[in-house]
């Protein structure tokens, strides 16, 4: 959703079509938030704690401990892949790029003996091989194992296996361990391996040993941090924590924490609704909601403020209901003076998301905005979306909603035209550039034509205009690319086709549901958070 920054909605439509049939009954106790996944998934994650870190996995709601790291030093959760030391940092590289002059390690290992049913037996064997000056570590893969080596090739692994057999004098079987798509290795800051985890579908769970905060790549989070390689790729990073604590990290990222407390309360309730209704939105990746603009922005512990925490606490458990069911409480930064019907933004019609006059929004810094594009810039933007209409000749809004938002935007060019409906225009041009669809378009080739007696002045594009010549009325469409205009004393040459397109707009966001700047105006006028929510979400109750 949008707060002080714009939020991206183009990919949300399919999800929201389903929510009227699949809503949550109420506020969940916990939530799983995806911090890094898909294209943002890293190959390595650094975690730290003031009290120590415990690693394990979840078994039906019970935490099964596997490894404990004492002290304040960091651990690094890495893909079991190829890494090399680059200026003190271990960076993932391709196998064929392994340098010979620096420290490097890879995903081939040696296993000593078969798997053990418990950790103690594996530790006993680990002590034996360490006494032989073999650098080993524990691994968990549906049982406890003792591994050595992080070889960068099969040949290195086979040579290491032979050397290990000689040292152990045949007392234990030695097995090769090949790379897999799910394995994680745990390293100390020095790069030394201390644990390996082959979890299959299970996330590797990390938690502070005293229940405190975990530091993840420099940011602190409440709850647990979980790791899993999704489809053999990089590491999906998830923050699992109480739902109330999740809201602590959302509300200050979505609204200014220095605003009136009634605005903060309204935002807390709306954010609670939005997350509760959208649980399991990212179930394919193993978590409920993401931490970015595709869901609600979540900043963890470091984003928390006393004012917004208080707003979350004072509205604990409260949600917005329509006809007895929790709603998806859309919200946006600024309406530009009028909110919008849901069907005028997306295809679904929601009875509680209806256009309302929003005079409370007046005074927003997004009251008016302007974005100027050259024709070349627009051609480039369209090409990025596989739209080829040649040279851009014209942009016009074909139809508006009653509130003044663009319903249909036609872009014409030398090789055809394309129509961008509703929010599609913002998806193509960029949500940070076209702040809303509440805009008009003008160009540097617009002509203002005086009609007959009693007729208003009309604006037309130069290419669509006609001129009276000595031999009759002529269309300018067939004229040269430039036109000369003369008033009898002076003349000027202009392009028949625009070189610049000027979008003049109001508001920021999709215009659905609560306007945050409007809510600010209402709160400052003496309205409560319940008043605010019931104004923007029609025929709803807050309880």
* Banded pLDDT at 462 (limits 50, 70, 90): low
Reply yes or no on whether the pLDDT at 92 is more than 90. Answer: yes
Q: Are residues 88 and 228 in the same domain?
A: yes
Cβ-contact 229, 18 below 8 angstroms? no
Q: What is the pLDDT of residue 458?
A: 54
Q: Are residues 222 and 181 in the same domain?
A: yes
Reply yes or no on whether the pLDDT at 101 is more than 90. Answer: no
* Pairwise pLDDT comparison (459 vs 198), residue with the higher score: 198
Cβ-contact 301, 47 below 8 angstroms? no
**Token couple for 184:** 């994680």
Quick: pLDDT tens for 294-345: 899 999 999 999 999 999 999 999 999 999 999 999 999 999 999 999 999 9
Reply yes or no on whether the pLDDT at 266 is more than 70. Answer: yes
Starting at the edge strand found earlier in the chain, the sheet holding 104-105 runs 89-92, 83-86, 104-105
Cα 445 to Cα 497: distance, rounded to the nearest angstrom: 6
Q: What is the pLDDT of residue 201?
A: 83
Quick: pLDDT tens for 498-522: 999 999 999 999 999 999 999 999 9
Domain count along the chain: 4
Cβ-contact 227, 235 below 8 angstroms? yes
**Token couple for 291:** 């931490």
Q: What is the pLDDT of residue 490?
A: 78
pLDDT, average across residues 90-118? 89
**Token couple for 491:** 């003349």
Q: Are residues 191 and 56 in the same domain?
A: yes
Give a yes or no: residue 238 inside a domain. Answer: no
The neighbour count for residue 430, using CB atoms within 10 Å, is 14
Q: What is the pLDDT of residue 460?
A: 54
Question: Which backbone phi and psi does 534 adopt, to 5 degrees?
Answer: -75, -20
Measured between alpha carbons, how far apart are the two ends of the chain, in Å? 22
Q: Are residues 71 and 51 in the same domain?
A: yes
User: Quick check: helix, strand or coil at residue 82?
Assistant: coil
Return the residue matching tokens 């799983």: 32
- The DSSP symbol for 4 reads S
**Token couple for 234:** 């990089």
**Token couple for 178:** 């090949």
Global confidence as pTM: 0.85
* Pairwise pLDDT comparison (317 vs 460), residue with the higher score: 317
Q: Are residues 194 and 70 in the same domain?
A: yes
Q: Are residues 531 and 484 in the same domain?
A: no
Give a yes or no: residue 138 inside a domain. Answer: yes
Cα 190 to Cα 193: distance, rounded to the nearest angstrom: 9
Q: Which residues of 134-171 are buried (b: 16+ CB within 10 A; e: fewer)?
A: bebbbbbbeebbbbbbbbbeeeebeebbeebbeebeee
Cβ-contact 409, 398 below 8 angstroms? yes
Q: Are residues 472 and 432 in the same domain?
A: no
Q: Are strands 320-322 and 541-542 parallel, antiparallel or unpaired?
A: antiparallel
Q: Are residues 38 and 157 in the same domain?
A: yes
Reply yes or no on whether the pLDDT at 198 is more than 70. Answer: yes
Quick: pLDDT tens for 481-497: 566 666 667 776 666 68
Q: Are strands 136-140 and 193-198 parallel, antiparallel or unpaired?
A: parallel
Cα 236 to Cα 290: distance, rounded to the nearest angstrom: 11
Q: What is the pLDDT of residue 19?
A: 39
Q: Are residues 392 and 440 in the same domain?
A: yes
pLDDT, average across residues 237-254? 98
Q: Are strands 406-413 and 482-486 parallel, antiparallel or unpaired?
A: unpaired
Beta-ladder partners of 392:
413
Write the DSSP assignment of 443-454 as a string of letters.
Answer: ETTEEEE--STT
Q: What is the pLDDT of residue 86?
A: 84
pLDDT, average across residues 230-240? 94
Out of 281-285, 305-309, 529-533, pick the least confident: 281-285
Sorted by sequence, the CB contacts under 8 Å of residue 43 that are 6+ apart come out as: 78, 79, 81, 92, 234, 235
Quick: pLDDT tens for 118-143: 999 999 999 999 999 999 999 999 99
Give a yes or no: residue 437 inside a domain. Answer: yes
Among 189, 208, 232, the domain-final residue is 232
Q: What is the pLDDT of residue 223?
A: 97
* Banded pLDDT at 73 (limits 50, 70, 90): confident
Out of 397-411, 423-437, 475-489, pick the least confident: 475-489
Reply yes or no on whether the pLDDT at 17 is more than 90. Answer: no
Cα 523 to Cα 430: distance, rounded to the nearest angstrom: 31
Cβ-contact 348, 323 below 8 angstroms? no
* Banded pLDDT at 538 (limits 50, 70, 90): very high
Q: Are strands 331-332 and 514-515 parallel, antiparallel or unpaired?
A: parallel
Give a yes or no: residue 392 inside a domain. Answer: yes
Cα 270 to Cα 518: distance, rounded to the nearest angstrom: 14
Give a yes or no: residue 237 inside a domain. Answer: no
Question: Which backbone phi and psi does 349 adopt, to 5 degrees?
Answer: -105, 120
pLDDT, average across residues 16-27? 47
Mean pLDDT value across the chain: 89
Q: Are residues 468 and 419 in the same domain?
A: no
Q: What is the pLDDT of residue 535?
A: 98
Q: What is the pLDDT of residue 380?
A: 96
Q: What is the pLDDT of residue 529?
A: 98
Cβ-contact 66, 197 below 8 angstroms? yes
Out of 79-93, 355-369, 398-412, pick the least confident: 79-93
Among 232, 262, 293, the domain-final residue is 232
* Pairwise pLDDT comparison (15 vs 222), residue with the higher score: 222
Give a yes or no: residue 409 inside a domain. Answer: yes
Q: What is the pLDDT of residue 26?
A: 78
Q: Which residue segment(s) compose the domain that 91 sits in?
A: 34-232
Q: What is the pLDDT of residue 168?
A: 93
Q: Are residues 261 and 343 in the same domain?
A: yes
Cα 287 to Cα 36: distance, rounded to the nearest angstrom: 11
Q: Are residues 187 and 282 in the same domain?
A: no
What percent of the chain is predicted at pLDDT more than 90? 78
Quick: pLDDT tens for 334-393: 999 999 999 999 989 999 999 999 999 998 999 999 999 999 999 999 999 999 999 999
């Amino acid at each position: 959703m949008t707060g002080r920054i714009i939020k991206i909605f183009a990919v949300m439509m399919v999800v929201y079509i389903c929510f009227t049939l699949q809503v949550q009954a109420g506020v969940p106790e916990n939530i799983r938030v995806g911090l890094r996944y898909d294209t943002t998934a890293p190959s390595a994650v650094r975690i730290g704690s003031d009290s120590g870190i415990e690693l394990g996995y979840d078994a039906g709601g019970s935490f099964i401990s596997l490894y404990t790291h004492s002290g304040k030093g960091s651990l690094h959760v890495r893909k079991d892949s190829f890494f090399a030391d680059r200026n003190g940092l271990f960076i993932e590289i391709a196998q064929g790029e392994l340098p010979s002059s620096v420290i490097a390690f890879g995903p081939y290992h040696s296993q000593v003996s078969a798997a053990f049913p418990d950790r103690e037996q594996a530790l006993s064997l680990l002590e034996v091989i360490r006494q032989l000056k073999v650098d080993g570590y524990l691994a968990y893969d549906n049982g406890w194992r003792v591994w050595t080596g992080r070889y960068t090739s099969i040949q290195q692994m086979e040579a290491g296996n032979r050397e290990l057999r000689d040292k152990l004098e045949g007392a234990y079987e030695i097995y090769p361990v090949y790379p897999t798509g799910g394995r994680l290795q745990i390293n100390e800051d020095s790069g030394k391996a201390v644990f390996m985890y082959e979890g299959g579908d299970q996330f590797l769970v990390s938690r502070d040993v005293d229940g405190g905060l975990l530091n993840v790549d420099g940011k602190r989070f409440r709850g647990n941090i979980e790791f899993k390689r999704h489809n053999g790729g990089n590491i999906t990073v998830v923050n699992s924590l109480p739902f109330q604590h999740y809201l602590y990290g959302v509300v200050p990222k979505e609204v200014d924490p220095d605003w009136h407390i009634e605005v903060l309360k309204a935002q807390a309730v709306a954010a609670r609704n939005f997350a509760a209704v959208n649980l399991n939105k990212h179930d394919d990746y193993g978590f409920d909601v993401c931490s970015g603009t595709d869901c609600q922005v979540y900043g963890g512990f470091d984003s928390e403020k006393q004012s917004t925490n208080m707003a979350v606490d004072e509205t604990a458990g409260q949600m917005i209901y329509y006809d007895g069911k929790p709603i998806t409480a859309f919200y946006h930064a600024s309406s530009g003076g009028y909110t919008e019907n849901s069907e005028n933004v997306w295809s679904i019609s929601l009875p509680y998301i209806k256009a309302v006059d929003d005079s409370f929004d007046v005074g927003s810094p997004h009251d008016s905005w302007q974005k100027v594009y050259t024709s070349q810039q627009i051609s480039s933007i369209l090409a990025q979306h596989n739209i080829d209409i040649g040279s851009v000749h014209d942009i016009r809004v074909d139809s508006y909603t009653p509130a003044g938002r663009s319903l249909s935007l036609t872009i014409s060019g030398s090789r055809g035209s394309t129509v961008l409906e509703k929010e599609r225009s913002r998806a193509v041009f960029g949500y940070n550039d076209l702040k809303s669809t509440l805009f008009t378009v003008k160009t540097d080739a617009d002509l203002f034509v005086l009609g007959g007696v009693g007729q208003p002045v009309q604006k037309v594009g130069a290419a669509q205009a006609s001129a009276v010549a000595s031999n009759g009325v002529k269309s300018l469409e067939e004229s040269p690319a430039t036109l000369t205009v003369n008033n009898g004393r002076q003349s000027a040459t202009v392009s028949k086709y625009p070189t610049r397109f000027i979008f003049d707009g109001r508001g920021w966001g999709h215009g659905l549901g609560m306007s945050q700047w409007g809510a600010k105006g209402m709160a400052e006028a003496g309205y409560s958070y319940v008043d605010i929510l019931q104004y923007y979400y029609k025929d709803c109750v807050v309880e």
